[in-house]
Structure 1
Amino acid sequence: MLSAGLSDADRRRVRATRFPREFDVHVDLAKVNLPVMRVWIAQRLDDTANGDDIATEYILSLFDDDTTYDIKALQIQLEGLLPNPADAAAFCMDLQTLMLDAQTTVSGVPKRLVAERREQWRRERERQ
């Protein structure tokens, strides 16, 4: 997702908004396991956007063709799609943290998601 698709007003908002330092770090999507991240994005947006499939599909489509993305532009675009604009900042911070972690692992999967999945499997085994 490039910021080239932003309107002039959104570009001004990107310049005027203070973002966390993590947003200045480049993420190479070629090093990230995007299918795993798409599942996380869909689940998180489903919770945040109250099941708004349009918002979820739009955001997922931004990761279709690019090898990089602009987290700042994504946050500005999400503010208009989510019921609470503050949710956009929290979502983008989580996403950027996971993406930065994912690009450093061999599998391209963030360590946090691996740990969460292991914990889920452990709980399922205990129930049986």
Structure 2
Amino acid sequence: MATSVDAKLLKSTKFPPEFNQKVDMQKVNVEVMKKWIASKISDILGSEDDVVIELCFNLIEGSRFPDIKKTQIQLTGFLDKDTAGFCKELWKLCLSAQGNPQGVPKELLEAKKLELIQEKVGFSNNPVPHISF
């Protein structure tokens, strides 16, 4: 799948040190990661783009040990200047997820806890409308 252009980009691009660590996707809760990926890509693009989202899913699910460097190169045409930041955040979450028994990144667990606490206290940014019968 990698072209000679991709191979040159792989050699010439400076990647963060986290990209040298392997992620075992069998230890990652892929469904949780898919929700994060879909949400993040939609935020970056300003709309939901199923083609780009599915491409990203395929790139990280394509093998047990995906290559985040190749993923970044493949996504650059779609996410442009946001690609490197997106891939770095994605990889950090995957690394965190594989170290968690549930396969969920601790950062996402903490964010969810905070969201639930805010809902209980009533400080939610998106208050749920109360429906009375």
Same fold by TM-score greater than 0.5: yes
Residue 107 of structure 1 aligns with which residue?
Answer: 102
Residue 131 of structure 2 aligns with which residue?
Answer: none
**Which of 1 and 2 has higher RCO (CA within 8 Å, sep 6+)?**
1
Q: 1:65, CA displacement in angstroms?
A: 4.2
TM-score normalised according to structure 2 size: 0.86
Q: Does 2:70 align with 1:73?
A: yes
Q: Which residues of structure 1 form unaligned runs of 5+?
A: none
Q: 1:64, CA displacement in angstroms?
A: 3.7
Deviation sequence 1:27-62 (CA, Å, 0-9, x none): 111111111111111100110122222211211122
Residue 123 of structure 1 aligns with which residue?
Answer: 118
Sequence identity percentage: 37
Q: Is the 8 A contact 1:101 1:111 kept in 2?
A: yes
Task: State the 4+ residue runs in structure 1 displaced beyond 6 angstroms.
Answer: none
RMSD across aligned positions (CA) = 1.4
AA partner of residue 20 (structure 2)? D
Q: Is the 8 A contact 1:102 1:110 kept in 2?
A: yes
Q: Does 2:13 align with 1:17?
A: yes
The 5-angstrom pairing of residues 1-80 of structure 1 reads 5-51=1-47, 52-80=49-77
TM-score normalised according to structure 1 size: 0.89
Q: How many residues align?
A: 122
Q: Which residues of structure 2 form unaligned runs of 5+?
A: 123-127, 129-133
